[in-house]
Amino acid sequence: MSRSGAVAAEGLDEGVAAHYGDPLREQRALAAGTAFVDHSQRGVVTVRGADRLSWLTTLSSQDVSRLTPGESPELLLLSLQGRIEYDAHIIDDGEAAWLLVEAAEAAPLAQWLDSMKFMLRVEIADRSAEWGVLASSVALPLDAPYWQDPWPGVVPGGYAYSDSEHHPGAERPWFEYLVQLSELGERADALQSSGFSQAGSLAAEALRLAAWRPRWGAEIDEKTIPHELDLMRTAVHLSKGCYKGQETVARVHNLGHPPRRLVFLQLDGSQHTMPAAGAPVLLGERTVGTLTSVAQHYEMGPIGLAVVKRNVDPDAELTIQDGDEAYVAAQEIIVATDAGQVVGRQSGFLRPVR
């Protein structure tokens, strides 16, 4: 925020710059791999101890029992009903597992993990006051541990609910570097000396939406199950042992359908404003979902992600109602309308477990 032209971000990115004076130029540079983003508002939780990886495996949706330095899984911690409570990006350096989360997740996650350790050899700490993240769409010349987003790949044990061959997320590599906050300015100066420019959080958000990438606190709410957001591809291992919420995950995947689905929205760009996240999504006069994120993309114009009811016609034109303003939006399928109920399927649109 001390950099020239910095304009403060709000919401999930409060504490860092939304942009530095030219959001679309910054977005182009970030997409081209010549810029980096300050994500120092992110939360960081560490789990140390000999039992850390096997313990996290028993608690979470992912198998990290054999995680080695350099690997980049994503894991979910679920409620008994299978709803997402925490979404963590995990790095292990051989001594500690580092969980990169949204700022609002860090303290309650550390507290919950501490309550679950019982007699195991693990130590949990919220390190958000000491550590943060610098991110980019390209590997940065930083001597620091990093998490590389597996999205939109299908990790071992995962399952894709959307078309992987033409997935726009394949055009968005993403790297999150763990840095000490006391060295943040020095690291940023070094990157700028190497030819990288700074981009704000608005640029990162627009590229995230274009890649159909869900985010905790935006697409994930108190009712979300992994199937609704296509998170089965990167954050769930369908063949691992028991964990809290597994029964719901297995039942919906094998025998049922998720009640909602994530969609990509291309908004009518004729208006000079954009709707706010949280605005209702309508089909005719009936509310069928919620706009979860919205951004101005440097090529596509206004875009958004929304969570809608599963049975909404995927070819229907939707309307976003924000106060007195109505915004027309065309939808693209992210999660298939027939997602789930895979028992007995031999082929089809959905990709099977690896």
Strand partners for 303:
266, 295
Tokens linked to 295: 């951004």
- Maximum Cα–Cα distance across the chain: 61
Measured distance CA(125)–CA(120) in Å, rounded? 15
What is d(CA 259, CA 303) in angstroms, rounded to the nearest whole number? Answer: 23
CA distances from 204 to 58, 76, 157, 342 (A): 33, 22, 29, 34
| Rounded-to-5 percentages of helix, strand, coil across the chain | 20, 30, 50
Q: In what order do the strands lie in the sheet with 175-180?
A: 146-148, 175-180, 131-136, 35-38, 197-199
* 123 among annotated binding-site residues: no
Annotated binding site for substrate: 176
Annotated binding site: 176
